[in-house]
Amino acid sequence: MTDLPGPDATKGRDARPLLGADTSPLGRRTGWAVDLLTAAEPPRDEDLTAHFVPVFLARHPRGFAATVEQWRGLGPFTVADYQPVAHKSWVTLENPAGVRSTLSLTLDSSGLIRVLHLGPEVVTPPVRAWDDLARAMEQPGVTWSALVTRAAGEETATLYAKDADRPMPNGSSYKLYLMRALAQAVTAGTVRWDDEVTVTPALRSLPTGDMQELPDGTRVPVRETAYKMIAMSDNTAADLIQDLLGRDAVERAVEEGGHRQPALLRPFLTSHEVFEIGWGDPGRRAAWAVAGEAGRRQLLGTVAGPLTVRGSDLGPTVHQLGLDWHMSAWDVQRVLDGLAEDGVRDGSGVVDEILTAYPGVPVDRARWPRVVFKGGSCPGVMMFCWLLEEHDGVRYTVVLQQSADDQKLIGDGQFLRGMGGRVIGSGLLSGQAS
């Protein structure tokens, strides 16, 4: 239920001028963060408070300046690459020994830093042919699937497929069905974009996102909530939208959206429910694993209160127990295509504005003026999907899915997102490998 870092870096150039030229809020925050690691003097904790959301600094009881000092010890650094995408950025740093690290940053909706992390650079291999993708994705202990399609008019051609009919856990891509149900409700006139939802303890979830930090009783417009659900993968926003629409309406959207085995998504879970059942009371989790649909619906009544699970409780994988949202790559392709049509039908432009706010990776806007992206993860689960549309209306979809019984085999998403970026930039979509 999270969205995670980006594609690979461009080798052999000094990207500091590129970073310095970005005067956007994201560029300024990223430049400041890089300065923490490259300036002559280390920062003091009192110098940090104006740049981070309070919850970030609260997670560092020893002070975040101590963490920064550890990172600085890996340098001195030069800036090898800078990649900004909407509210996220990735900076590749290189030390004198040639060791490269990635500094990843995420802004929250207030413009403050919500995520700042330094880790080893994850290098993705070039993709010049579909066999390159298959070789890179084939990893011990990891189940994967992939689908790449081209749709022109009524004809959809499969450019590449690997186990694309197999249902797999998908993490936050379930929010695509919520968006479909919401778009349909707005079209029907039962919901308006300026309607409001109310944050309550029973609807508060865990990150990603920032709406879980809003005080009880806070009212937020549906339009803003839906934007955060898709662009920032906000879990509390998704649960608020599902509460507004009702579980039945979302389950209808799953069937109408072309899911080939909709029973896999009944009952359609909220993120709050997955967290609470998956990492809460072990007896309830065991009961869920063996229950049928009716029994599972009854169990949901036992998690109707405030969330008791913390982010630190998440660990063992639970997708094998049916605690996730299972979709095949073809299911993902069909819901993406349906959303693209929802955007065309929506005269207000709001649906498209929400869907295209965050493209996931840097894309060539001259070629792809319209890009829809969704990613997601849970322990042992990672997926990324894109719908890219050319000026003439030809649409391409790229769906990459991974699952494993051990989260360490999946990693933090940099590899899979990088592979998606490789496919999109390879020329294979147009039949011309780069």
- For residue 112, CA distances in Å to 30, 53, 413 come to 11, 6, 23
Q: Kindly provide the b/e burial profile for residues 115-130, where b requires at least 16 CB atoms within 10 angstroms of the residue's own CB.
A: bbebeebbebeebeeb
Q: How far apart are CA 213 and CA 59, in angstroms?
A: 14
Question: Which secondary-structure segment (H or E) carries 424?
Answer: helix 414-425
User: What are the backbone dihedrals phi and psi of residue 95, each rounded to the nearest 5 degrees, phi first?
Assistant: -95, 175
Residue 13: predicted pLDDT: 63
User: Up-side HSE of residue 352: CA atoms within 13 Å toward CB?
Assistant: 14
Q: Identify the CATH number of the domain defined by range 16-120.
A: 3.10.450.280
Asked if the domains 16-120 and 124-434 are classified in one and the same CATH topology, the answer is: no
Q: Which CATH class is domain 124-434?
A: alpha beta
Query: CB–CB of 11/80 below 8 Å?
Result: yes
Strand, coil or helix: 89:
strand
Q: Walk along the chain (434 residues) in steps of 10 and give the mean pLDDT of each run.
A: 45 79 96 93 84 89 87 94 95 96 94 95 95 97 98 95 98 98 97 98 95 97 98 97 98 96 98 98 97 98 94 94 98 97 94 97 94 97 98 97 95 94 93 59
**3-state SS class at 83:** strand
Domain boundaries along the sequence of the chain: 16-120, 124-434
What are the start-end ranges of the H helices in 22-92?
25-38, 54-58, 64-72
- Quick check: bond before 316 cis, omega within 30? no
The DSSP call for residue 142 is -
The total of other beta-carbon atoms located within 10 Å of residue 78's CB is 14
* Cα gap 173→372, rounded to integer Å: 12
Evaluate if pTM is beyond 0.85: yes
Are 372 and 179 contacting, i.e. CB atoms less than 8 angstroms apart?
Answer: no
- Residues 405-418: b if buried by 16+ CB within 10 A, e if exposed: eebebbbbbbbbbb
Residues 51 and 116 sit within 8 Å (Cβ to Cβ): no
